[in-house]
Amino acid sequence: MRGWSPARWPLRTRVALAFLAATVIAVTGLGLLVQLRVSDALEDRLRDSVGAEADRLEAEDGDLVEAVSALGGEVHAQVLTAGGDVEASSELVAGPLLDAAELRASARGGWLVKTVTVFDDDAAAAGRPDPERERLLLLVKPVEEGFLVVGTSRQDADEALTTLRNQLLIAGPIALALAGGLGYLVAGVGLRPIERMRSHAATISARSAGERLPVPEAEDELRRLALTLNAMIGRLDDGLQRERRFVADASHDLRTPLALMLTEIELALARPRTPEELRVALSSVEEEVRRLIALAEDLLERAGSGALSLPIESRPVDLVALAGRVVERFRAAAGSRGLELVAPRPVEIHGDATRLDRALSNLVDNAIRHGAGDIEVVVGAVPGGAVLAVTDEGDGLPDHTWPQDPGLGLTIVREIARAHGGTIDLDRVDGRTCVRLLVASPQDH
C-alpha cells in the first residue's frame, strides 16, 4: 500500500532500519565465518589425532595386528586384507569399518566420514557391551598386510559445532535487537540538531526579523545546512525589509495627492461655487490625479522589477530631444520658477526611451515639488555613455537618507539607471543641489 512505502517512513526509522540491515549482514557473515573457522579447526585437530595414531601404530615394534588388537579408548582401528576381510580390530569396533566397495574406492588411502557401529567405552569396561552408531572420521593407509584403517568419533566435534550454532542463533537476534535500538537512538541524536533548527524555524516570522537558526559547532553537513538556511533567511529578510520600505514610501507618496484631492473636493462642496471656482478646483484635482497616475506607474515598475534588473528595449535615443520633451511637459507645473534645458551638443545613446523619460520626469517632478529656485536640466556626454542632471537651489536630501532611503520616485530612477548600466548620485555644486543620472549604452555595460 502507498502508506507502507519506505519513502513515506520517518527519516529516523529509515536510518535505524538501514543500520539494522547493515548489522544483519555483518552479524550473519561473522557467524558463518566463526562457524567455518571453528569447524576447520576441529577437523584439523581430529585429523592430526588420527594421523598421529596411525603413524604410531605403523611404528610399533612387533606385529601390526597385535598392536591394533590391543588398541582401546576413543581411537578405533582395523587391519583389513586387500579383499576387505578383517585381520585385526580394536576392542570397541563391532563390525568392519569399511566394506569392499569403500575399500576399493580408498585403495590409495585417504579420508572419509562414515557412520559405523561401535561399543560404548564405559559400558564395555563394566562388562555390559552396548553397541551404538557413531560418525567416525576414518583414515585409510595401505600397509603390507593390506590396509590400516584408523578413526575416531566426530561426536564431540559435531556437538561443539551444534552448541556454537545454537549460541549464535540465540545471541544473533539479541545483538540485532540491541543494534536496532542503538541505531534508533543514534539516528535520534544525529537528527536532534535538525529538529532544533526546525523548531526554531517555526518560530521565525515577519515580526522576528534578524533571527537565525542555531548553527551546530561540528564542522559537518549539518553546520553547512544551517549556514545555507541562515543565508537564505537573510536574503528573505532583506527582501522583506525592502518590501516594507517600498510600502512605506508608497504610502507616504500616495497620501499627499490624496489628501490634496480630498481638500479640494471638500472646499468645492462646502458652499455654492461659481463655474470659474469649480474649474480651478477641478484643475487642481486633475493635477493630483495625474500625479496619482504617475505614482501608480512608478509602483508598478518598482513592484515588477523586484530584485532583478528592469528589462529594457535598447534603441538609439536622442537624449537632448527626450529632455526637451520632458522640460516642456513640466514647464506649466514649474509656474513662475525657471525651468531650462542645457545641452551644449547633441547626445545619442542606445537605451530605452520610455524608461529614460520616466527617470528624467521623476527627477524634474522631484525638483519642482521639493526643490527651490530655478531648475536646470543638463544633458552631456561622458565616456561610454551620457549624463542627465537636474539641479535646483534647494537644500537637497539629508545625508543619512541618501542613497538608502531616497523615496519612491528616486528609487525608480535608481532602478532605471541600474538597468542601463549606470548610477544615480546627489551632490552640491556651487550652492545648488544636483541629481545626476549616469547611463551607458548596452554595448558598453
For residue 360, the tally of other CB atoms under 10 A from its CB is 25
Task: Say if residues 117 and 95 touch (Cβ distance below 8 Å).
Answer: yes
What's the confidence (pLDDT) of residue 406? Answer: 63
Note whether 364 and 374 are within 8 A (CB). no
Q: Is the dihedral of CA 215, 218, 222, 228 positive or negative?
A: positive
Residues of the chain with CATH 3.30.565.10: 312-444
- Please give the CATH superfamily to which domain 312-444 belongs: Histidine kinase-like ATPase, C-terminal domain (3.30.565.10)
Q: What is the pLDDT of residue 301?
A: 64
Using a cut of 0.85, tell me whether the model's pTM lies above it: no
Number of Cβ within a 10 Å radius of residue 338: 11
Query: What is the CATH number assigned to the segment(s) 221-304?
Result: 1.10.287
Q: How far apart are CA 90 and CA 124, in angstroms?
A: 13
User: Which three cell numbers, joined as nine digits, stand for 341?
Assistant: 534645458
Q: State the CB neighbour count (10 A cutoff) for residue 317.
A: 23
Phi-psi region of 23 (alpha: psi -120 to 50; beta: other; left: phi over 0): alpha
- The pairing of strands 315-318 and 131-143 is unpaired
Contacts of 165 (CB under 8 A, 6+ apart): 35
Q: Where in the chain is the domain with CATH 1.10.287?
A: 221-304
Query: Domain 60-153 is of which CATH architecture?
Result: 2-Layer Sandwich (3.30)
- Going from the first residue of the chain to its last (445 residues), give the mean pLDDT of each consecutive group of 10, the final group possibly shorter: 66 82 89 92 91 86 80 85 85 84 80 83 60 87 86 89 91 87 84 80 71 78 83 81 72 66 79 83 76 70 57 88 89 85 91 88 86 92 92 71 58 85 88 90 50
139 torsion bin: left (phi>0), alpha (psi -120 to 50), beta (else):
beta
